[in-house]
Amino acid sequence: MEASCWLSTGLVRRLIELPSPPLSRHQLKRLEEHSSWRLDWETWLQPQTHLRRFDVVSTAEQIPGRRQRALLKLDCNQASPRRYSSCGRSLLEPLMQCYWEWLVGRVPSWIAPNLITIIGLATNVFTTLVLVYYCPTATEQAPLWAYLLCAVGLFVYQSLDAIDGKQARRTNSSSPLGELFDHGCDSLSTVFVVLGTSIAVQMGTNPDWMFFCCFAGMFMFYCAHWQTYVSGTLRFGIIDVTEVQIFIILMYLLAAVGGAAFWQSLVSPAGTHTHTHPRLHVAALTLPSARLCSQIPVLNIQMKMVPAVCTFLGAIFSCTNYFRVIFTGGVGKNGSTIAGTSVLSPVLHIGSVITLAVMIYKKSAVQLFEKHPCLYILAFGFVSAKITNKLVVAHMTKSEMHLHDLVFLGPGLLFLDQYFNSFIDEYLVLWIALVISFFDLVRYCVSVCNQIACHLHICVFKIKP
């Protein structure tokens, strides 16, 4: 049993792990059913298209037999609810698949899929923290190499996150733990990606827009798994994560080539681009996108507002599709979730996070968010990542989400501190909230991964021979 676990016994393990197992025996049983009945319909119909780690569970499922071919004729809504499916394909998916197939072929077969995922996440987190170090208020100018580093880090994360599933199929090591680990890393990466993007465009000079863009990104990621919890199917749009990540990489490159001041430049009514930094003249002459932007007749709008407006429009479009599925696509009894609960029950968790974030932001007497936006986003981002992970676990185990959670302690302390007229320095309480939310997120993730690994007799970061 100890060989199945990824943390050694002792004080460190007892400190990090939760005192009691986070999953019940009933949830673990449902988790096994989730693994046994998963079948990706689109994989069999279009085997060369979008593939994820959780598309194929075992070798037997890779070759559809007579029974599987018969099931393919059924509509997804009529199929057994005990399966995980994904549908849809984004615009750049076919093109990127060629690169991902080439890349996974260079990965040694002894490397575990989860190890690939965590290396990608660590790269993305490290490169973003470098940007946070140089731009703690998201208004400073970082060195050119810091933006390039973030662009490379995000591309590395995207590549490794895409091939971990392919590596799992190569090594016959697909499992529910891999699916959960993949989504868990994505939830944490989302926080750092939205934060790094806001820093790159110096969105800290517009705190309201920075607050909206960061929390909109976290909310949309939560909604993607919310509709999966309701319908049992993870849906991908024409413009999805891959396209957004490529767009953000281009934004990093623009900040590196033209300087962060590129995003401060104005597009005048006459269509002339007002430059404020010497490197911007070079960017305008060398980058087609810069020349195009200089010709857009927009009235006195900073270039940084272009990604902000795109975020706003994308949030409206995505949330419209998400809530259409949430309100009409329930596969449980009487249109409920796959766990038989109300389709609106997950709104309590993300609603609590956003409500507390808005109230603390607007009621702060010391302008807490304006002065420390990065710490603020990280503190609440860890809370968002924790509840998103709980939502993924609830979907995989077909169980109810409970609102009471220790992760809300940090935001609660900030709220109470403001309620009592900032009896303790808000900046200090913000650090306490950050530490609490991060520690609680780590404890939960470690405990869940450890429990599932022990139950399935597998290793998290190793492939058992």
441: exposed, middle or buried (C-beta count within 10 Å: 0-12, 13-18, 19+)? Answer: buried
In this structure, what token pair is assigned to residue 448? 């869940």
Q: Which of 426, 232, 187 is nearest to 330 (CA)?
A: 232
C-alpha dihedral (24, 27, 31, 32), degrees to nearest 10 = 80
What sign results for the dihedral spanned by CA atoms 78, 80, 82, 83?
A: negative
In this structure, what token pair is assigned to residue 418? 């403001």
| Alpha-carbon 25 to chain mean position | 28
Q: Which of 458, 402, 405, 398 is nearest to 26 (CA)?
A: 398
Q: Any idea which residues carry the catalytic annotation?
A: 183
What sign results for the dihedral spanned by CA atoms 346, 385, 242, 172?
A: negative
41: exposed, middle or buried (C-beta count within 10 Å: 0-12, 13-18, 19+)? Answer: buried
One-letter identity of residue 227: Q
